[in-house]
Chain A
Amino acid sequence: MATLVQILAQGLSISAVLLLSALGLSIIYGVMGVVNLAHGEFVMLGAYVMVLLSAALSPWGAILVAPVVVGAIGLLVDRTLIRWLYHEPVKSMLGTFGLALVIRQLVLLVEGPDLRYVGLPLTASIPLGFGEELPVWRVALIGFAGLATVIVAVWLIRSDFGLRVRTATMDSEIAQSLGINISLVNAASFAIGTAAAGLAGALIAPLYSVYPGMGTTYLVGAFLVVVLAGLGDIRGLATWAVGIGLVTAAVAVPANDLLAQVVVWCLALAIVALRRDSLLPARV
């Protein structure tokens, strides 16, 4: 019973982070046909904002500031580099991987290679009986990530600008001919996608160690979700994020993280290989 609760809590908090980072990836791919391999680095930047500002602004302030700062960096990157890579998936993968190396190395030069830690903003924990405790922060993390996802989803479905974003996702040329300012939509989507990654980074910073190379793990996990859900399909994301998170925790809690990673990847490969309709062709 204790293990079960632990699996649920850990699994859902993994899912929450996966969902938040996969959301940004999926929006960016859907709107501008860019496969952003620097996405993990934006998660890392969010975590560093949390590390550097949580003393000055209080952890809560840092969590609010992180998406803004990272989104602004995303906007800058979009205007200088990403816009040359729109609708060229292969080129964009190489270009954004170069960007990832640059960001990681710059952080390494400025902040050094040491592991950094942040205290938990909520130190309380819920006693579960069985001598086990559940840190409140894990629950809060799940809540925050869910809330952010709902806000983005409502914004996409309800708002006027969201409608434009969805139109651009369907067909950017037609959208342009209808008078939609496509470059504004592109820039805003990239900023929002990276802001979501920054928020994810700020939320996980208190749970794990923060270092320049941490992004790769989150990038790979988020891509797994996006690949299984189908690139550009935002609705499938939540299901697959929860599924992967729970499977990871179900192996990691009784055994170890390494085995969990291997099991998840072998399962994912098998699902892709055996799926009847395979994966749908991705629109670029």
Chain B
Amino acid sequence: MIAALALAFSLPLFLSDYAIGLVALWLPLVVLAISIDLLWGENRIVSFGQGAFFAGGGYVAGLLLKGPAADTTGVNYELLGTGGGGGSTFDEVIKALSSPSIAGIPILVFPLAILACGLIGWLVGAAVFRTGSVEIYAPLITLGVGVVAGTVFLSIPEIGGSNGLSGIPAYTRELAPGSQSAIYLFNLIWVSVVYLGYWLFRSSRLGRLWRASGDDPVRLEALGVPVRRLRGAGFAVSCGLAGLAGALYAGSAGFVSAELAGVIFSVQALIWVAVGGPGLLFGPLLGVMAIKLGENFLSERLQESWQLLLGLLLIAVVLVAPKGLAGLPATVRELIGRLSQIEGKTSQIEARRT
């Protein structure tokens, strides 16, 4: 484990600047995948709206990193007719929020992104966990949240409307300007922290309670656990985590658009987790890396058929390998076990014959 971590941190020594820039872009997606796994793998809640919170975090970070329109070039703002001169209330608020900063990183970005997404997630969760069959209603309600968030983001001119928010500077703009490796390392630190937290959470008492509240909420309720409140809080935490992932993404990609809130992106994120193996610690990491590597190699050649392939992949994973890549050893072991059982039986039968 430590060797793997050391390798991850020394990766910029081996890869080209372009490759490191690509991998740096995938790391926030790992955080998003963890937020989905927290719900799906650990609590049996499938969310089709996780992208909405990812995009929300991205917009918060994008606005604060760019600062008030007057400070950056403001090309986008002028085009949109909100004026580059500043002075509007919106600009004032952004200025106030983005001014406390350490080494060029506006320190309010992460708490704000996490809290805003967590709060909205908590409100959505309040509705979701009132229903009798959370497993079934949660995906449907979050599907609507994703669609509505997408249209809302599109219609607000202050955040770029249908153009999206572009030209977002990196978090490492003052520490190491222009360096892809610095962005990679910044993201890697965050991913490591989130993964450490996730690992500790999974083996803690609270983590076991969380898993149990998904496995058998009725029994847990009978044992005196406030299941509805617990799951609501967990849902909010997952949404906050998605917001954090979005904030990291905005600083790495330099661009956020309403497309990230859409259902297609949310489902892609579900596919990463499905391929990696829901409920398995390294599932999110493996899933994101496998799909993104594949996409990088194939999407140039396949172009429009890539989404077709994605759909077929989703169907295949659902039908054939419900435990995903991280569960592949277990799936194979089970298969070998079954085969050896058959072998054992045939040899028994043969032994009896002789």
A: which residues have CB within 8 A of B? 35, 37, 81, 84-85, 89-91, 93-95, 97-102, 104-106, 108-109, 216-217, 220, 223-224, 226-227, 231, 258, 261-262, 265, 268-270, 272-273, 275, 278-282, 284
Report whether A35 and B307 are in contact in the complex, using a CB–CB cutoff of 8 Å. no
B256 located at the interface, meaning its Cβ lies under 8 Å from any Cβ of chain A in the complex: no
Can you name 5 extra interface pairs (CB under 8 A) apart from A101-B264, A220-B143, A231-B136?
Answer: A90-B139, A95-B315, A262-B148, A281-B132, A284-B136
Q: Verify A89–B136 contact, CB threshold 8 A.
A: yes
Could you tell me if B144 and A108 are in contact, using CB atoms closer than 8 angstroms?
Answer: no
Per-residue A-contact encoding for B306-328, CB less than 8 Å = 1, 0 else = 01101111110111001000000
Pick 25 A–B contacts, CB within 8 A, sort by A: A35-B140, A90-B44, A90-B46, A90-B136, A98-B310, A98-B312, A98-B314, A101-B264, A102-B315, A105-B305, A109-B304, A109-B308, A216-B147, A217-B147, A223-B144, A227-B137, A231-B136, A262-B148, A262-B152, A265-B148, A269-B141, A272-B130, A279-B132, A280-B132, A281-B133
Cβ 8 A contact of A101, one of B139, B141, B308: B308
Q: How many residues of B contact A (CB 8 A)?
A: 44
Q: What mask results when residues 97 to 138 of chain B are scored 1 for a CB within 8 Å of chain A, else 0?
A: 000000000000000000000000001101100111101110
Distance of A55 from chain B, by nearest CB (Å) = 27
Question: Which residues of B are in contact with A by a Cβ distance under 8 Å?
Answer: 44, 46, 48, 123-124, 126-127, 130-133, 135-137, 139-141, 143-145, 147-148, 151-152, 155, 263-264, 267, 270, 274, 304-305, 307-308, 310-315, 317-319, 322
The interface residues of chain B, by DSSP majority, are classed as helix
Q: Is the pair B130, A101 in contact by a Cβ cutoff of 8 Å? A: no
Beta-carbon contact of B263 and A216 below 8 Å: yes
Q: What residues of B have a CB within 8 angstroms of the CB of A217 in the complex?
A: 147
Residue of B nearest to A84 (CB): B319
User: Which residues of the partner chain A approach B305 to less than 8 Å between Cβ atoms?
Assistant: 105, 109
Measured CA separation A126–B315 after assembly (Å): 49
B residues in contact with A91, CB < 8 Å = 318, 322
B130 touches A278 (CB 8 A): yes
- Let me know if B304 and A108 touch, CB within 8 A: yes
